[in-house]
Amino acid sequence: MTELATYNFAYLDEQTKRMIRRAILKAIAIPGYQVPFASREMPMPYGWGTGGVQLTAAIIGPQDVLKVIDQGADDTTNAVSIRAFFQKVANVAVTTRTEEATIIQTRHRIPETKLNANQVLVYQVPTPEPLRYLEPRETETRKMHALEEYGLMHVKLYEDIARNGRIATTYAYPVKVAGRYVMDPSPTPKFDNPKMHLSDALQLFGAGREKRIYAVPPYTEVVSLDFEDHPFEVQRFDKPCTLCGAEQVYLDEVILDDKGGRMFVCSDTDFCEDRRAHGHVGPMLAPNGPAADGLPGSKEAAE
């Protein structure tokens, strides 16, 4: 019977790691520019984080502590699956605590806790090209980036305003990096865009299926595209987290019953647990109980 291969540390062979490492270094040297790389087939499907996984696999070492989140939560199925993958192939320490992690691999959210200079944030990116839905051809979009011709994007945003009264992009909101490249921040809600600006941490972006790696070094300008008369605005939630009372954080809507009852809780599960561990409570857990705030049935939490 055919002998199946044993796997190298962190799954990737050394030649693949070198190829990705070289791409990472060039990406850091050209903030926001998408470096093409020969993405490998990974044991999870394209579109499910293979870019992020290849980045993490290329940089991770035995001393690292890995956190993996999806939608801000450590316990969503894909985050669980990726974390288990690295435990198996790298035997590395894992954590759900943002503060304890040295590498955080994320899908669609940036942690609420401010990151520090010892951390690397690895984003999973489905569509790295910010212009892709405006121009499907790679041959054309590459030229636009080369010539810094981003007119198409400004036109799109302006048409939104003309049609809807506001810019209708709520996630994957395009940004300009270090004053040069327009970049797709991955499908994080635009709420998270300000966190990318002048971060203490290194941010790496991996798109496995589309075969691109890009980076934002620490302390780098990341500016959301807008117009003078329609400046960039983040979403606001007008009620705090029902469980921990946090304000100015991104909240998930949870449906409680079939009569429209709903509540809003922190998307960042570690942030929420940590606040509750330190005694913060939201309306549901407060001594006066849920009735105090008219929950369930409250529909206007996000205004």
Partner 1 sequence: MYVAVKGGEAAIANAHRLLADRRRGDRSLPALGIDQIVEQLALGVDRVMAEASLYDRTLAALAVRQARGDMIEAIFLLRAYRTTLPRFGYSQPLDTAAMKIERRISATYKDLPGGQLLGPTFDYTHRLLDPSLLTDEEVDEPMQRPAEEGRVMRVSEILDQEGLIEGDGAMPVDHEIGDLTRKPLEFPMSRDLRLQALARGDEGFLLALGYSTQRGYGRTHPFTGEIRIGEVEVELDVPELGFAVSLGRIQVTECQMVNQFKGSAKAPPQFTRGYGLVFGQSERKAMAMSLVDRALRADEFGEDVTAPAQDEEFVISHSDNVQATGFVEHLKLPHYVDFQAELDLVRRMRRDFEAARDSGMDPMTEAAE
Partner 2 sequence: MSLTPSTFGNDALTGGFTDPVFDGQSVFKLMMDAMARPGTLQTISTEVAPPAPLGIAAGAIGLTLCDHDTPVWLSTSLGRSSLPEWLSFHTGAPIIQERLEAAFAFIEAGMALSSFNQFGIGTQEYPDRSTTIILEIESLEGGKDLALSGPGINGVSMIAPVGLPDSFLRIWNDNRALFPRGADLVLTAGRQFLCLPRTTKIIATEM
Q: Which residues bind partner 2 (CB under 8 A)?
A: 8-9, 14-15, 17-19, 21-31, 33, 35-36, 58-62, 117, 142-143, 145-147, 178, 180-181, 200, 202, 215-220
219, interface contact from partner 2, partner 1, none, CB < 5-8 Å by kind: partner 2
> Is residue 208 annotated as a catalytic residue, yes or no?
no
Comparing C-alpha atoms, which of 157, 217, 222, 139 is closest to residue 184? 222
> Is residue 61 annotated as a catalytic residue, yes or no?
no
> Is residue 52 annotated as a catalytic residue, yes or no?
no
39 near partner 1, rule: CB under 8 A: yes
232 near partner 1, rule: CB under 8 A: no
18 near partner 1, rule: CB under 8 A: no
> Is residue 32 annotated as a catalytic residue, yes or no?
yes
Minimum CB separation from partner 2 for residue 34, in Å? 9
139 near partner 1, rule: CB under 8 A: yes
Give the strand pairing for 181-183 and 175-177: antiparallel
Comparing C-alpha atoms, which of 19, 43, 73 is closest to residue 267? 73
Minimum CB separation from partner 2 for residue 56, in Å? 12
Distance CA 45, CA 179 (A): 35
Choice among 206, 241, 245, 282 that is catalytic? 241
Task: Please report where in the chains the tokens 């499910």 appear, as a residue.
Answer: 48
Comparing C-alpha atoms, which of 272, 284, 183, 277 is closest to residue 224? 183
Comparing C-alpha atoms, which of 114, 115, 90, 89 is closest to residue 102? 115
Choice among 49, 72, 206, 266 that is catalytic? 266
Could you say which DSSP state residue 135 is in?
Answer: -
> Is residue 179 annotated as a catalytic residue, yes or no?
no
3-state SS, residue 203: strand
143, interface contact from partner 1, partner 2, none, CB < 5-8 Å by kind: partner 2
135, 127 contact by CB (below 8 A): no
Minimum CB separation from partner 2 for residue 9, in Å? 5
User: Active-site residues: which are they?
Assistant: 32, 241, 244, 266, 272
